[in-house]
Structure 1
Amino acid sequence: MAGLIGLLSFDKIWNINKFLYYGLVGLQHRGYSQSGISLLSEGGIIKSMKSKVAPEDLEVGELEGWAGIGYTGTSGYPIQVDGLSVAIDGVLSDPDSFVSFLQKDPKEAIRSTRFPFSFVAITKEGKLMAYRDHLGLKPLSLGGFGFDMAIVASEMTSMNVIGGEFRREMKPGELVIIDRFNVKSVQVREPEKNYCSIEYIYQARIDSFVNENDIYSLRLRIGEKLAEEFPIDADTVIGVPDTALPFAVGYSRKTGIPLDLGFTRTGSPIRTMLASDDFTKVVGIQLKLNPIKSAVFNKRMILIDDSMVTGTTLKNTVFNLRRLGAKEVHILIGSPKLSNKCPYGVAVPEEKELIAANLPDSEIAKVIGADSIHWLSLEGLYSAIGHRALCIGCMTGKYPTKW
């Protein structure tokens, strides 16, 4: 998973480094272990910076330019080859060769690749290029900053951070080329819509709009579906921040069970699904999920989370809730079971690491210390989203492409 952004000002007097920086910070929920930017300055000079730090820790003050791109995720992007710099969201077997080919013939370079991916790129001639994969797995949106700047970003949230305006989502298989005088759109590959189900459930921010869906409203519907499928007698409903909060709101509205804010945060937000090691996961849990005793003491709780990968996060969370006096803890998961790895770059690991792929529900409840645990059904997911044009490979083992 990754966050991409591209900016191009229509007047070269602009220095966009701060716009690029803060726009990238607005995407770090999509991945934060590595980040980088490239800026185009007068004379066709592209300067890049890459670092194994979150976007908010990048020091971009010495870089200047009137156009540029940014990346946040798990790989070392952008890649710069001569007069072209590219950042990619997706998995490519040989990204350096792709970037070289892209410089010669963008359309053929895209058509020659087998795996779905999206990218943003800046050329020394002052062109901003963006492509969205033909399956629609990796989102990209177009926007602007008044009449002064064009913006391409993985999510509209990045535009909102810098005061930009969202215009539209890019179509699957669409290539957009922007310069100071023109915007050109080319349908390079035919769309085969298989939107990533994890985008809806977990990846996108709750204030975002992805694949023609308002994410907050969609997650309310998921909470309502959980209430229909698993009505549980309890004293309070609590959602795990931030992703699952709308699930809890929807469940509470549907059942009438009171909603409580069960946790407060310490420090910067950490997405434990993206953490690379167990220590970071545990520390991340403590920073992200510090329970509020008065919200849980002596109560029968329904705890709602967006997904379950290894079970580490929920096990630690349930332990802390019990320690603070929770009488019962019933867990609801706002997605079907994750039982297969993702070959497209989403942080769903090998089957041997996925708790739902290896244990029955009763054993999982024992392992994490819960009274019960239930997952949203696949039909419930389809109903909440409103269509079936989804990649559900991590849930079923059936993928839209061979790999």
Structure 2
Amino acid sequence: MAGLIGILAFDKIWNINKFLYYGLIGVQHRGYTRSGVSLLSEGGLIRTARSSVAPEDLEFGELEGWAGIGYAGTSNYPIQSEGISLAIDGVIKDQEVFVKELEKDPVEAVKRNKPTFTFVAITKDGRIIAYRDYLGLKPLSIGGFGFDMAIVSSEMTSMNVIGGELRREIEPGEMVIIDRLNVESMKLFSPEKNYCSIEYIYQARIDSFVDEKEIYSLRLRIGEKLAEEYPIEADCVVGVPDTALPFALGYSRKSGIPMDLGFTRTGSPIRTMLASDDFTKVVGIQLKLNPIKTAFFNKRVVLIDDSMVTGTTLKNTVFNLRRLGAKEVHILIGSPKLTSKCPYGVAVPEEKELIAANLPDDEIAKVIGADSIHWLSLNGLYSAIGHRDLCVGCMTGKYPTR
């Protein structure tokens, strides 16, 4: 999982480092344990800074330039050679070989490798090269800042942050090459359209627009589907911030059960599914899920979350709700069961770590201390999204490239 951004000013008088910095913060929800930027300055000099911190803590130092790329994720990108710097969203093999091929001939490099990852690159001759994987697993969009800059980004959210606007989504299998005089688009592969289901359920921000779908409205429909599939007698519905709040709102509207805001946050958002170690996961849970006692005391609660990986987050949360006096806690998950590792870079671990792959529902409920637990059905997911052009490999074990 990663957030990518590329910005190119059509006039070299611009210094785009602050645009790049704040634009990168606009996609840091996609990954925050590593970050990096590469900026192109006069004379074809590319300078790169990388850090094992979130983008908001990345030290730009004296880096300046009129074009550049940024990365927020879990790897040590961007990767730089003499004439190009590259950041990817996905999984790459032989990255040094690919970078050299890309530097020599971008079109031929992509045609030869047919990558299942999405990337943005900056070259020393003043081009941004952006490619979206032919399966459509990773989103990528193009936009602009007036007539002054071109922007490519994983999501429109980074464009909005810096006052830019979305022009369109880049299609699966499409490459876009931008320089100061031209924006060139070419379809290198026919799109196979296996959009990542996790993008809709969890990864994309709720104010985003991915693969022609408005994420907020889609997540409301997921909540409505949960209400249709699992009508539960309860006193309140609570969503786990932030992703599951629209699920809870949709469930509440469909069921007529009042929705409560059951948690308050401490500090900056931490997405525990993306955390790289157990300590960060536990601390992240406490930071983002500080429960409000009056929302739960002496109540039968429907608690909705976006996914369940190991069960650590929900076990801790249910314990705290019981401690605050909740009479019943029924868990609903706004996705089908996660049962298989993702080979394309989504943070779904090995099967042995996935609680839904190893225990029946009643045992899972006992482990996390809930009265019941239910998952959105696969058909419910298809219905909420409105099509079946999805990769659901982490839920079924069947992948587009296998």
Q: CA deviation at 1:112?
A: 2.3
| C-alpha contact 1:3 1:30 (8 A) present in aligned 2 | yes
Task: Give the Cα separation in 2 of the matches to 1:307 and 1:142.
Answer: 30
What is the distance in 2 between the residues matched to 1:321 and 1:277? Answer: 24
**What SS is found at the alignment partner of 2:39?**
strand
Aligned to 1:17: 17
Query: Counterpart of 1:286?
Result: 286
- Correspondence list, 1:178-327, <5 A: 178-327=178-327
Q: Deviations over 1:261-312 (max 9, x none)?
A: 0000001100000111111111000001000001111110000000000000
Q: What is the identity, as a one-letter code, of the residue corresponding to 1:245?
A: L
- 1:112 alignment partner, SS class: helix
Q: What are the Cα deviations for residues 371-393 of structure 1, in whole angstroms up to 9, with x where unaligned?
A: 00000000000000000000000
Distance in 2 separating the partners of 1:113 and 1:284: 38
Q: Give the TM-score normalised by structure 2.
A: 0.99
The code of the aligned residue for 1:341 comes to K
One-letter identity of the residue aligned with 1:302: V
**Structure 1: distance between partners of 2:183 and 2:28:** 27
Asked if the contact 1:17–1:61 (Cα under 8 Å) also holds between the matched residues in 2, the reply is: no
**Percentage identity across paired residues of the two chains:** 81
2:175 paired with 1:175: yes
How many residues are aligned here? Answer: 402
What is residue 65 of structure 1 aligned with on the other side? 65
Q: CA deviation at 1:62?
A: 1.1
Secondary structure, in 3 states, of the residue corresponding to 2:102?
helix
Give the C-alpha shift of residue 115 in structure 1. 4.3
User: Aligned partner of 1:390: which letter?
Assistant: L
State how far apart, in whole Å, the 1-side matches of 2:335 and 2:167 are.
30
Hey, what does 1:156 align to over in structure 2?
156
Counterpart of 1:171, as a letter, is E
Could you tell me how far apart the structure 1 residues matched to 2:111 and 2:292 are? 53
Alpha-carbon distance, 1:330 to partner: 0.3
1:106-133 CA-partner distances (Å, limit 9, x unpaired): 1121122254001001111111110000
How far off its partner does 1:49 sit?
Answer: 0.4
Aligned to 2:81: 81
Q: 1:99 to 1:348 in 2, by over 3 A?
A: same
Q: When the two structures are superposed, what TM-score results if normalisation uses the length of structure 1? A: 0.99
Alignment partners' CA distance in 2, 1:87 and 1:176? 15
Q: Deviations over 1:99-154 (max 9, x none)?
A: 10001111121122254001001111111110000000010000000011100000
| 1:24-79 deviation line (CA, Å, top 9, x unaligned) | 11111101111100000111111000111110100114110000000011111111
Once superposed, what is the RMSD of the aligned Cα atoms?
Answer: 0.7
Distance 1:54 1:96 in 2: 25
Partner SS for 2:152: strand
How far apart, in 2, do the equivalents of 1:245 and 1:143 lie? 29
1:345 Cα shift? 0.2
Take 2:212 and 2:90, find their aligned partners in 1: how far apart are those partners? 21
**How far is the alpha carbon of 1:224 from its aligned partner?**
0.2
Distance 1:203 1:257 in 2: 27
Letter in 1 for 2:43: G
List alignment gaps of at least 5 residues for structure 1: none
Deviations 1:340-366 (A, max 9, x none): 000000000000000000000000000
1:301-338 alpha-carbon deviations (Å, 9 max, x no partner)? 00000000000000001011111111110000000000
| Aligned residue identity for 2:196 | C
